């Protein structure tokens, strides 16, 4: 069984490879691609994988752009942080639609669907697909418990404009200008918070969509985020995330 992975985030690639190897050790990972362009070229060169695990948002656009061009009937399992593309995914031969953070049990369900050849496009299955998808939508964290000297304070996630890391300590900056220490790693917060609301700008910062005032070009392909926060300097966006944040905002 030949498998193709199309995922622009290296940690997500590695986790997917790890889970596939655990679930189906005999399967062969043919390639791991990161962009629309690479995916189109892969199929144009005559490769014919049996199954593709694919993210929606890639480094240079949406994976649907590649799918529309290659016109290949290979089954697709979507693994993504965004839930609004579920219907379109089903329409382009999507077998399953798994929301990040990736769970090995959900991945196994998708693998079993593939093995049972349950790609049947009819109205009944389409409704079953949507119901199953809605039931599996991730419940994102809404509150953070903050350890204080005199007890525990509850911070509502909706009040947080920015998370930042300084000297290995994570801080939550609220829209009201308050700053709190948070006992979570930024990677963990990225997994637990709604990707519709928060974007990981760089290794040290993750911002709420409503805290963004504007984007401006910087240098060497980098951009900066100007925020609505008075005492926060512009956030530097690495070159490889510029396209992604523009796509994230343009929805």
> Which residues contact residue 67 at a Cβ distance below 8 angstroms, ignoring those fewer than 6 apart?
54, 76, 92, 93
pLDDT number for residue 118: 46
Overall average pLDDT of the 202-228 stretch: 95
Domain ranges within the chain, ordered by starting residue: 2-135, 143-249
State the CATH architecture for 143-249. Beta Barrel (2.40)
How crowded is the C-beta side of 36, counted as CA atoms within 13 Å?
15
pLDDT number for residue 128: 63
Q: Distance between CA atoms of 230 and 152, rounded to whole angstroms? A: 27
How crowded is the C-beta side of 121, counted as CA atoms within 13 Å?
10
Overall average pLDDT of the 42-67 stretch: 90
Tokens (6 digits) for 192: 């637990």
Cβ–Cβ < 8 Å for 235, 202: yes
Tell whether pTM > 0.85.
no
pLDDT number for residue 86: 76
Count of helix runs (H) and strand runs (E) in the chain: 8, 17
Q: Please, which pLDDT band fits residue 121 given cuts at 50, 70 and 90?
A: very low
Overall average pLDDT of the 198-210 stretch: 96
DSSP assignments along 165-198, one per residue: EETTEEEEEETTS-EEEESS-HHHHHHHS-TTTE
Tens-digit pLDDT profile for residues 140-161:
899 999 988 888 999 999 999 9
Q: Please, which pLDDT band fits residue 136 given cuts at 50, 70 and 90?
A: low
Does domain 2-135 fall into CATH 3.40.50.2300? yes
pLDDT number for residue 69: 82
Overall average pLDDT of the 101-105 stretch: 91
Q: Distance between CA atoms of 211 and 224, rounded to whole angstroms? A: 13
pLDDT number for residue 88: 74
Q: Which residue has the higher pLDDT, 72 or 107?
A: 107
């Amino acid at each position: 069984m030949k498998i193709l992975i199309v995922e622009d985030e290296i940690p997500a690639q590695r986790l997917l490879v790890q889970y596939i190897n655990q679930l189906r050790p005999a399967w062969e990972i043919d390639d791991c691609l990161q962009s629309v362009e690479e995916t189109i070229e892969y199929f144009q060169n005559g490769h014919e994988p049996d199954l593709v695990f694919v993210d929606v948002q890639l480094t240079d656009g949406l994976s649907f752009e590649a799918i529309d061009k290659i016109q290949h009937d290979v089954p697709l399992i979507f693994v993504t942080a965004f839930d609004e593309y579920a219907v379109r995914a089903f329409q382009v031969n999507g077998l399953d639609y798994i929301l990040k953070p990736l769970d090995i049990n959900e991945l196994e369900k998708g693998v079993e669907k593939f093995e049972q050849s349950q790609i049947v496009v009819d109205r009944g299955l389409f409704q079953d697909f949507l119901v199953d998808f809605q039931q599996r939508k991730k419940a994102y964290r809404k509150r953070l418990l903050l350890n204080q000297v005199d007890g525990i304070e509850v911070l509502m996630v909706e009040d947080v404009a920015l998370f930042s890391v300084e000297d290995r300590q994570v801080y939550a900056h609220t829209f009201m200008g308050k700053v709190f220490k948070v006992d979570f790693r930024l990677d963990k917060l990225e997994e637990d918070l709604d990707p519709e609301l928060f974007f990981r700008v760089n290794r040290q910062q993750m911002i709420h969509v409503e805290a963004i005032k504007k984007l401006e070009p910087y240098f060497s392909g980098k951009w900066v985020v100007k925020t609505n926060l008075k005492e926060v300097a512009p956030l530097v966006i690495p070159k490889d995330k510029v396209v992604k944040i523009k796509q994230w905002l343009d929805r």
